[in-house]
Amino acid sequence: MIHTEELTRTFKLKGGQTLTAVDALSIDVHKGEVFGFLGPNGAGKTTTIRMLSCLIEPTAGRATINGYSVGEDNAQIRRGVGILTETPGMYDRLSAAYNLTFFAKLYGVEDVEGQVEKYLRMLGLWSRRHDEVGSFSKGMRQKLALARALLHEPDLVFLDEPTSGLDPEAAHLVRDFISEMSDQGRTIFLCTHNLDEADRLCDRIAVFKTKLLVLDTPANLRRRLFGRQIVFHLREAQPDLAQQVEAQIYVNSAEVIDNKLVVRLDDPDRYNPDLIRLLVAAGADIQFVGELRYSLEDVYLQFIREDEKLAEENH
């Protein structure tokens, strides 16, 4: 669906200097997946979306969207994508329905009234369809902008902070909506600072800070940084238990913390029964077993800090 090769964008600054906002980005986003694009403010995420949706031209590199080339087939690309920007603009003095009607006609939607009603109802705005958008809260405006992005039923949707400003109930509605769009085969390119949201929604995640730092599934990113750690909760942990467990060839490390034995190993599903038998034979009273799960925030911050440390060392 999306393919980029060394995609780069620089901006000219005053005094003849240049700023590289996106540096040699090479990624593939597959049809039907929810692709998370994560990074700090100023990392170049919005610039990337603007290039891929043909709003600005790349300085170097190339990109294709559904087989169409950015810079050559811009009209075809724009017809097949929907965009929700972080600060969507609407006509405040027009009603919600008229706003969507106007944009539906621009997109060349055949059943304008039907599409407008469909998305106003789906996003809980039908009862406010005749109200001026200027009277809407930020969250309501965000939902209306999402409706606008979907009017022409695009195969690819760019979402920049889609739940920003929404109350928990509305944010839940939007997240369910994103999952539903993915189930329908649409491709979602999601920029968000809500890492819990990204963890729940995204099939794969790219951590980006001008350059691509890492790209993988959330589960694989956790394993790459932290491995898998199993926690055996014991009635009373003997100090020598860690040594006995660590002596097993399939164990990477073992540590007793209070009355918990924390074991790092590559394949818990295979070796947990062996560990349980070993602990029982050693006289340990096992109360229950769980897995230590790191959050996506832990993963994200680790990669960002490693990048910052590398940048400091290079300077």
**Predicted TM-score (pTM) of this structure:** 0.82
pLDDT at 237: 81
Which sequence spans correspond to the domains of the chain? 2-216, 222-292
As a CATH number, domain 2-216 is 3.40.50.300
CATH (residue range 222-292): 3.30.70.100
In whole angstroms, give the CA distance from residue 299 to residue 306. Answer: 11
Q: Of 112, 182, 172, 191, which is closest to residue 147 (Cα–Cα)? A: 112
| d(C-alpha 105, C-alpha 107), whole Å | 5
- Using CA atoms, how far apart are residues 116 and 289, in angstroms rounded to an integer? 52
- Note down pLDDT in tens along the chain; length 315 residues: 899 999 999 999 887 889 999 999 999 999 999 999 999 888 999 999 999 999 999 999 999 999 999 999 999 999 899 999 877 788 999 999 999 999 999 989 999 999 999 999 988 899 999 999 999 988 888 889 999 999 999 999 999 988 877 788 888 888 888 888 888 889 999 998 888 889 989 999 999 999 999 999 988 888 787 778 899 999 988 878 889 999 999 998 899 988 899 998 888 889 999 999 999 998 889 999 998 887 888 888 888 888 888 877 776
Q: Determine the 3-state secondary structure of 79 from DSSP.
A: helix
Alpha-carbon distance 37 to 159, whole Å? Answer: 10
Q: State residue 224's pLDDT score.
A: 80
Query: How is 87-130 classified by DSSP, letter by letter?
Result: S----TTSBHHHHHHHHHHHHT-SSHHHHHHHHHHHTT-GGGTT
Q: How distant, in Å, are the alpha carbons of 4, 199, 267 from that of 1?
A: 10, 22, 34
Question: Cβ distance 13 to 2 under 8 Å?
Answer: no
Residue 233 has what pLDDT?
A: 93
